[in-house]
Every structure is written in C-alpha cells, then in structure tokens.
Chains A and B, each alone.
Chain A
Amino acid sequence: MGVAIGIGLMAGTVGGMLGIGGGVILIPGMVFLMDVEQHSAQGVSLAVISAMALVGTVTHYRQDSVRLRVALWIIPAAVIFSFVGAMVADVLNALILRQIVGGVIIMVGFFMVMRGRRSEGSAL
C-alpha cells in the first residue's frame, strides 16, 4: 500500500502539472515494482486516471486553467475514437506500434521545446 501511494503521488503530481494522465508512470510502476500483469496494469491505470482527472479538473477549474467549452467539444470524438483505437490495437502489432508512437512523441517533445515565443503570455 505504501509503494502504491508513492507511485500514485508521483503520477498525480506529474499528471496534474503537465495535464497528462500519469499512465506513463502508473503502468511501468505497477509492472516493474509491483509485478502486475500488463493488461491489468493498463486497466487499473485507467481507473486511477479517471479518479485523478476528475479531481485535477476541479482543481484546474478553480484556478481558471480549464476551458470547459473546448473540452466539451473535444470529448465526443475523443471517447468514440478511444474505443476504435482499442479495437484496432488488438489487430496491430502492439510492440512496433508503441515504438512508432514513441518516435512521434519524441518529435512532438522536441517541437514543444523548440517552439518560438508565440502566445507566450506570463501565466494565464
């Protein structure tokens, strides 16, 4: 339980700050530190993320860092295609897929770091 709280705390802090779920920390944390099987780890990760995202959304909303209308517009397609993606994932070679996506993520990461000063703003 102590290890679980620690992993959750780390995933939550990074997730809350960067606006991601923290599954990137939760899944390896469970698989490598707690010996959980991959599928269960992904499922539990999603369950934990939904609790986290709800609390995170309320916190962000209170400090005025949520644009609710935009979120509501994006949600329908996102939910539908998350289903579609999960189905397609069964057919594709997950290993190669994750490596390709890893490559895309690295490029996006570099893009975010290199990005010019447009829409800089101070805090909000």
Chain B
Amino acid sequence: MGRKVLIYLLIGSAAGMLAGLTGVGGGVFLVPLMVGLLAMVQHQAHGTSLAVMFPIALVGAITYAVHGYIPGQVDWGVIVGLALGGMVGVVLGARLMMRVPAKQLRWLFGIFLVVVGTFMIVNP
C-alpha cells in the first residue's frame, strides 16, 4: 500500500509539474506513467487521465482568469464554440476509443506524441 501511494504521488507531481510548466496538459504524461508504473490497461489509462485532468484544468483556468487572460481579447462566442465542439468531440472520441484494440490505441497515442513533440521542438 505504501509503495503504491508513493507511485500515485510521483505520477501526480510529475504530470502536474510538466502540465504547469508547458501548458500542454497532464494527459500526455499521465497515460504513459499509468500504463508503465501502474500496469494499467491502455483504455482505462485514457479514461482515468481525463478524470485527473478535470481538476488540473479547472484550477489552471481559474488562475488564468484571475490574471485577466480569460476572456482577454477572446470573444465569449469563440470560447463557447470551442467548448461546445469540445464537449461533443470528447464523447465521440471516448466512444471511438472502445472500438480500437489496446495495441493499436497505444500506437495511435505514441504516434500522436511523436508529432506533438516534433511540433514543440520546431515551433516552441
């Protein structure tokens, strides 16, 4: 039990730290860490990652709002549009995930990370 708690703390601090530092969001680190350190099934890692990201994103958004960056110069219409699209998309994505076998899902995730990482280096 003690060792497991330590791993939870480690995953939480690593993902939170990197999310705060880069703004990329913890999922990119949460999923591989949960699969690697907790031997979690790929599908459950994806779902659980979103559950952890909700409070991280909420706290982050509130911090940005306090500093005046939300809405900033962005129209509320744009924000609502993004959120609406996002909320519909996330349901589609979650359903779609169930149709993809674990191995292919991990490949998709890995390839997506390589693309994202390359983008971050080329266009930081």
A and B assemble together: yes
Question: Residues on A close to B: CB < 8 A?
Answer: 1-24, 26-28, 30, 34, 36-37, 39-40, 42-57, 59-61, 63, 65-68, 70-71, 73-89, 92, 94-99, 101-115, 117-124
- Chain A residues with CB under 8 A of B84: 5, 8
A7 to B90, Cβ gap below 8 A? no
Query: Once the chains are docked, how many angstroms separate the CA of A49 from the CA of B109?
Result: 18
Contact of A13 among B24, B72, B96 (CB under 8 A): B96
Q: Are B32 and A43 in contact (CB under 8 A)?
A: no
Minimum Cβ distance to chain A for residue B82 (Å): 4
Instruction: Give chain A residues whose Cβ lies under 8 Å from the Cβ of B16.
Output: 77-85
Contact with A along B6-33 (1 / 0, CB 8 A): 0011111111111111111111111110
Q: Tell whether, in the assembled complex, residue A77 and residue B101 are in contact, meaning their CB atoms are under 8 Å apart.
A: no
Q: Which chain A residue shows the least CB distance to B85?
A: A8
- A101, B21: Cα distance in complex, Å: 9
A108 nearest in chain B by CB position: B32
Q: Are B49 and A82 in contact (CB under 8 A)?
A: no
* Contact in complex: B88, A89 (CB < 8 Å): no
Given the complex, which residues of A lie within 8 Å of B51, measured CB to CB? 53, 57, 60-61, 66, 68, 71
